[in-house]
Amino acid sequence: MGSAGHFRLTIRDLPSIREVTWIPYRVPLPSSFTSAHEELATRSGVIIEIQTNTGSIGSGECAPLPEFSGGTLQDVLTCLPTLALQLRDQTLPAALKHLAQLHGTLPTTAICGVETAILDALGRHYRCSLATLLALPTLDEAPTTHALELASSQIRHTIAVNTVIGSQTLDAAVERARQAVAQGYSCIKLKVGPQLRQTIELIAAVRTTIGPTVHLRLDANEAWDFELARSILSACEQWAIQYVEQPLPRSDLAGMAALRQAVTIPIAADEVLSDLASARRVLEAEAATIFIIKPQLAGGLRQSQQMIREANARGVQCVITSTIEAGIGVASALHVAAATPQLTLECGLATLPMLADDLIQETLSIQHGHIQVPSTPGLGVHTDPAALTKWRFKEPPSGDN
C-alpha cells in the first residue's frame, strides 16, 4: 500500500520486454506534398512492436525525414537489432531509462518509435492513456491510483489543429483555403517559397479568402535570406500572420534573432530543432518566439516534453506537429499535446489525410479543426495487420528515405 492507503503496484508486477520486432513500410501520398525543401510523393518508416512477458503488446513508429534530421530509414534499420537485444528482459520502466541514456547515439526517430511502443505497453498495463502516463511526475516507479487520477484529470481530450496548404499555384491555394474554412478549420498553415511578389500576393489572397478571424501561419522551410524575409514579412504585417516557421536556414541563429527584432510577425524555429541541445542553443540565442516540435525529430515524447518545459520557462510557446508519419506516430504526438495543456496554439497534426493509408484500425478523424485524443489504454490506436502487409517496404534501399 502506498501513502494515504493508495495501492501501488510493486516492481515485481511490472511487465518486462520479451521481444522487439519491426516492419518497414512505404505509403504513397496520392496528391504529393510540396514544400520549399522537396516534393514528397511517398512516406516510409518503421512500425515497432514490443511484446511483454505478460502477453501485452505496444506499438510505435519511426518516421525519419533526412531533409530535416533524425537519420535515414537505413540508419533506423541498422540500429534496431542491437537496441532490441539490449531491451530484452528489461522491465518497461527500466527500458525507458535505458533508452533515455541513448540520446545522441541513435537516430531521434528510432528513440521516438521504441519509446512510444514501451509507453503504449505500459499504458495498457496501468490501464491509462498514453497522455495520462506523460502527465505523471515520473515513470520510474508504478504510480498510485491517486497519481493516475490526478494525471488523467490534467490532460486534454481534444486538440485544435491547423490544416496545411503545400506550395502550389495561387488559384489552387486559394481554393484549398476556401475548402479548409468550409470544413471548420480555424487555423491554416501556408507553405511559402522564395519569390518576393508572388509570396506576398499569395498571402494577401489567402487572407482575403479566409476572412479576418481564421488564424494564418506561414512556413518558409528555410527558403529565405534575411533581406527577403524582412521584405516579405514587413509587407505582410497587415495580414495578421500568427507566426512564420523557419524563415532562414537552420544554421543562421543570429539572423533569426535579428529578424525577431526587425519585424513584428513572430518567428518560429522548426528545422533547427533536432534535439534538446539544439533547442537550448536556440533559446540561448533568443532566436525564436515559438518552437515547432516534432516528437520524431526531437528524440521522442518525453524529450519533446522536456523541450516544452525549457522553452516555456523562457517564455517561448510550443506547437506539436507531425512529420506526415502514419497513424501510430500521429497518435503519439497527439498524446504529447494532450498531456501538455499549456500548449494553447493549434497543433500541426492534421496530416493523416495526405497518406493513402494510416496503417491503423481506427480513424483519427478531424472534425471542425479538432482531433479527439483516444482515451482507451496506451496509444488507443492499433496497427492494421492487413495494411502493414499491403504497404510493407520489402527492400528499403540503403541510404535512401
Ligand X SMILES: O=C(O)CCC(=O)c1ccccc1C(=O)O
Residues 258-297 touching ligand X, rule: CB under 6 A, are: 270, 292
Under rule CB under 6 A, residue 190 binds ligand X: no
Q: 21 φ, ψ to 5°?
A: -125, 165
Using only C-alpha atoms, the chain has a radius of gyration, in whole angstroms, of 21
Under rule CB under 6 A, residue 401 binds ligand X: no
Q: Taking CB within 5 to 8 Å according to partner kind, which of ligand X, Mg ion, none is near residue 340?
A: none
Under rule CB under 5 A, residue 219 binds Mg ion: yes
In whole angstroms, give the CA distance from residue 26 to residue 35: 20
Please report how close the Cβ of residue 271 comes to Mg ion at its closest, in angstroms. Answer: 7
Q: Taking CB within 5 to 8 Å according to partner kind, which of ligand X, Mg ion, none is near residue 348?
A: ligand X
Q: 42 φ, ψ to 5°?
A: -140, 160
Task: Dump strand ranges (E) for 163-304.
Answer: 163-165, 187-191, 215-219, 241-245, 267-269, 290-293
Under rule CB under 6 A, residue 189 binds ligand X: yes
Under rule CB under 6 A, residue 132 binds ligand X: no
Q: Tell me how many degrees the CA angle 160-133-84 measures, rounded to the nearest 5.
A: 110
| Residue with Cβ nearer ligand X (82 or 183) | 183
Residue tagged active-site, from 97, 189, 294, 390? 294
Comparing CA positions, the residue from 164, 167, 213, 49 lying closest to residue 117 is 49
Please report how close the Cβ of residue 338 comes to ligand X at its closest, in angstroms. Answer: 17
Helix (H, G, I), strand (E, B) or coil at 91: strand
| Residue with Cβ nearer ligand X (33 or 126) | 33
| Residue with Cβ nearer ligand X (242 or 321) | 321
Residues 6+ apart with CB under 8 A from 156: 131, 337, 338, 341, 373
Binding mask 319-358 for ligand X (x = CB under 6 A): --xxxx-----------------------x--x-------
275 is in an annotated binding site: no
384 is in an annotated binding site: no
* Backbone conformation region of residue 384, classed left if phi is above 0, alpha if psi is from -120 to 50, else beta: beta
Burial classification of residue 160, based on how many CB atoms lie within 10 Å of its CB (0-12 exposed, 13-18 middle, 19 or more buried)? buried
Please report how close the Cβ of residue 219 comes to Mg ion at its closest, in angstroms. Answer: 4
In whole angstroms, give the CA distance from residue 44 to residue 29: 11
Q: What are the grid coordinates assigned to 51, written together?
A: 511484446
Q: Taking CB within 5 to 8 Å according to partner kind, which of Mg ion, ligand X, none is near residue 351?
A: ligand X
Per 3-state DSSP, the chain is made up of helix, strand and coil in percentages (nearest 5) of 40, 20, 35
| Residue with Cβ nearer ligand X (219 or 384) | 219
Comparing CA positions, the residue from 109, 102, 98, 112 lying closest to residue 140 is 98
Q: Which residue sits closest to ligand X, CB atoms considered? A: 348
| Residue with Cβ nearer ligand X (148 or 290) | 290
Under rule CB under 6 A, residue 164 binds ligand X: yes
Residue range at the interface with ligand X (CB under 6 A); choices 5-13, 230-238, 300-308, 315-323: 315-323
Provide DSSP, 281-293: HHHHTT--SEEEE
Binding mask 198-237 for ligand X (x = CB under 6 A): ---------------------x-x----------------
| Residue with Cβ nearer ligand X (148 or 214) | 214
Q: Is 394 a catalytic residue?
A: no
Provide DSSP, 48-74: EEEEETTS-EEEEEE--BTTTBS--HH
Residue tagged active-site, from 97, 191, 390, 394? 191
In whole angstroms, give the CA distance from residue 102 to residue 300: 11
The 10 Å Cβ neighbour count of residue 12 is 6
Under rule CB under 6 A, residue 165 binds ligand X: no
Q: Is 189 a catalytic residue?
A: no
13 is in an annotated binding site: no
Please report how close the Cβ of residue 35 comes to ligand X at its closest, in angstroms. Answer: 6
Q: The dihedral of CA 63, 43, 224, 187: what is its sign?
A: negative
Binding site for ligand X (CB under 6 A): 35, 65, 162, 164, 189, 219, 221, 245, 270, 292, 321-324, 348, 351
Active site residues: 191, 294
Binding site for Mg ion (CB under 5 A): 219, 245, 270
- Known binding positions for Mg(2+): 219, 245, 270
- Known binding positions: 219, 245, 270
